[in-house]
Structure 1
Amino acid sequence: MEDYKNQFACKSAELKNALKLYYTGPLEEFSSPTKYYRMRAEFRIYHEKDTAYYAMTEQKTGHLYKVDEFLIGSKKINQLMPELLHCINENQILRQKLFCVEFLTSTNGEAVITLIYHKRLDHIWSAEASSIQTPLRACIIGRSRGQKLVLTRDYVSESFFVNDRVLRYRQTESSFTQPNAEINQKLLRWVNKTCVNTSSDLVELYCGNCNFTVVLAPKFRNVLATEISKIAVKSGQHNLMANDIRNVTIVRMSSEEISQAFYGGRRFKRLSGVDLKTFMFNTILVDPPRAGLDKHTLGLVSQFDRIIYISCNPATLVKNIGVLDETHEVECAAVFDQFPWTKHLEVGVILRKRQSN
């Protein structure tokens, strides 16, 4: 445990040092459980004669290691791993040409298992896979090139608690979700705390399955959320309905496209029925991929009074803040150890527009 505390402290100190040109205030720190925190996992399947094993590849050397347990995975993943492997090894149809297994679980105890093959899947495979769902208490999906066979469903249900609200989400297989459930709940609570109720509007880029949208929508008059993934948009629409959120419009557009729509005057069919002039935006939330914000998106973001920036890459975050420093200053910041035992950090930063002299 001391090793974990020291590692997290070192990562936080590195971020403070990287931010010191732009922010020297307090940095809130949110640690993670040290075991059973990761809600999804992926393993290669290694075959030795007639027996299959879980395996992972060491990135630097390419060496393949057998995996017997996965203590950073959720308790549900650790429960399912030996049970599933037994089913696979007892059944040649399930074992043959299986090369990858993916687990998706929730804190509610639900699980989806995806079996990925180098072969065409047929009704015989479906029957054999269906027979193990009940004993495993999990939903099975089969994948191969050009195929996705969903035997029951392809999602798990998740719940988070923010203040007096119970937030309900559908987490869909093959779509991005925050991997560390406890840290995600802390992140949602922090974002909620940093925003006050307002009569203005919010625009959210990279909204995913509306992880943050569900939390923040009640604090704004209206929300325009953008996401490029069809699967994420579908999940997001479901999550808004499940939480009785009625003031959000989701459009399937990239950050570059929405920038062009805002300031380039370009028209998009996907924005038909959405009049940007009717919104009163003053806040923007961005949760970009590790590459950070491109120059077009930075130009858009710099026009807003308030910026909520969620980052999974401190290096690109600091680089982006360096550009935004011309127009904005950092109001507060927090670190979330989304990825314990690694060098990676999740960071939340609130920036406000500088007052003109």
Structure 2
Amino acid sequence: MSRPQFDPATYAAQLEAKKQRLIELLAPFAAPAPEVFDSPREHYRLRAEFRLWREGEDRHYAMFEAGDKHAPILLDDFPIASARINELMPRLKAAWQASKALGFKLFQVEFLTTLAGDALITLCYHRPLDAAWQAEAEKLAAELGVSLVGRSRGKRIVVGKDYVEEELEVAGRRFRYRQPEGAFTQPNGEVCQKMLGWAFEALGERDDDLLELYCGNGNFTLPLATRVRKVLATEISKSSVNAALANLEGNGIDNVTLVRLSAEELTQALNEVRPFRRLADVDLKGYAFGSVFVDPPRAGMDPDTCELTRRFQRILYISCNPETLAANIAQLDDTHKVTRCALFDQFPYTHHMEAGVLLERR
């Protein structure tokens, strides 16, 4: 992760440039003007990863420009990261400098925090971890008020929890999320909350069922499940599936069936190309799907999955890559039109952006 060019004075201009880029990409589809959801100007990123760089006897937090591993940018703080990360950075550095058990062959540090105030730190080593390390790690975790995970080749030691707990509010209801160490989570909590609110409103109150592809840890599943009769959700990552199941149970949501399948596999199942054991207890024909929600990876939906979504009256699509979003819309344009779109500035001071569209059958 290279360091963004952090300058709050340029924020309005860069956000306007992103808006115009999205408008241009969606212009061929007569999309309405995007609703724009901005980001906090600083302390918006809830996770951060740093390599450590040695100078003399000291190790420093370091980042690198893409493709250059030999010219480090040494850091004492990181203004785009959450206030909690910035508060923890110097205290953690002091700890590894003062303790050989903590500092010896430590090469990478990862922070994961939440808007709710939880924090987890992962320490990565080029050596085996022993009882001396664990004793020091337990002491440090108590001093910092965090959970710690130590990682070395073939070894993982957890002090406290291997996840953080988040709370996000959507339409007046607070949802609790378990976010595991090493699993994907939305990096910008404030903008994530705005995304959930937009998707909740765009879907509307429905009297039919929802299919969700790429559900992750249930980030969107929880609020959207309150808008429909029932949900069939899919996710391929085992850790994300386990987190999603815990999140559904923790929030008392009981109208979601979650299966560990890829979007491509579910497409094959719905097309009756082949059966899947993981769907043996799922009555696919018992669903009355009116909407599909997708939040695919940067590559977008593959052509077959995109073709599958054509069956639905409404396609609610969150994208981290507007170029592949536009390509998918082009495939669907003869049957569906864009009735709403939005820009979510998850990554200020970079060219990256998240977009959302609602497509409805013509």
The residue aligned with 2:306 is 298
Matched, 1:284 2:284: no
Larger mean Cα displacement after TM superposition, 263-272 or 167-176: 263-272
Q: Distance in 2 between matches of 1:59 and 1:265?
A: 42
Q: Distance in 2 between matches of 1:41 and 1:2?
A: 23
Structure 1 residues not aligned, in runs of 5+: none
Cα drift, residue 156 of structure 1: 1.1
1:300-326 deviations in whole A, cap 9, x for unaligned? 111111100000001111111111112
Cα drift, residue 264 of structure 1: 3.3
Among 115, 118, 121, the alignment partner of 1:113 is 121
Matched, 1:27 2:34: yes
Q: Distance in 1 between matches of 2:232 and 2:142?
A: 41
Among 144, 156, 167, the alignment partner of 2:175 is 167
The residue aligned with 1:41 is 48
Counterpart secondary structure, 1:36: coil
Among 267, 279, 285, the alignment partner of 2:275 is 267
The residue aligned with 2:245 is 237
Cα drift, residue 26 of structure 1: 2.2
Q: Distance in 2 between matches of 1:177 and 1:199?
A: 30
The aligned runs of 1:55-70 (5 Å cut-off) are 55-62=62-69, 63-70=71-78
Cα drift, residue 2 of structure 1: 4.2
| Residue type of the alignment partner of 1:226 | T
Cα drift, residue 60 of structure 1: 4.3
The residue aligned with 1:341 is 349
Q: CA RMSD of the aligned region, Å?
A: 1.0
The aligned runs of 1:112-261 (5 Å cut-off) are 112-261=120-269
The residue aligned with 1:330 is 338
Q: Distance in 2 between matches of 1:9 and 1:198?
A: 34
1:124-153 deviations in whole A, cap 9, x for unaligned? 211111111111111110011222111110
Counterpart secondary structure, 2:338: strand
| Residue type of the alignment partner of 1:16 | I
Q: Distance in 1 between matches of 2:258 and 2:274?
A: 18
Among 4, 10, 19, the alignment partner of 1:12 is 19
Q: Distance in 2 between matches of 1:150 and 1:329?
A: 49
Counterpart secondary structure, 2:348: coil
| Residue type of the alignment partner of 1:29 | V
Counterpart secondary structure, 2:192: helix
Counterpart secondary structure, 2:10: helix
Q: Distance in 2 between matches of 1:328 and 1:316?
A: 17
Q: Distance in 1 between matches of 2:74 and 2:98?
A: 19
Q: Distance in 1 between matches of 2:22 and 2:224?
A: 26
Counterpart secondary structure, 1:8: helix
Structure 2 residues not aligned, in runs of 5+: 1-7
What number of residue pairs does the alignment pair up?
A: 354
Identity of aligned residues (%): 47
The residue aligned with 1:50 is 57
Contact map agreement 2:141 2:159 (CA 8 A) in 1: no
1:308-349 deviations in whole A, cap 9, x for unaligned? 000000111111111111221111100000000000111010
| Residue type of the alignment partner of 1:149 | I
**What TM-score results when the alignment is normalised by the length of structure 2?**
0.96
Counterpart secondary structure, 1:77: helix
Q: Distance in 2 between matches of 1:175 and 1:251?
A: 18
| Residue type of the alignment partner of 1:11 | K
Cα drift, residue 48 of structure 1: 2.5
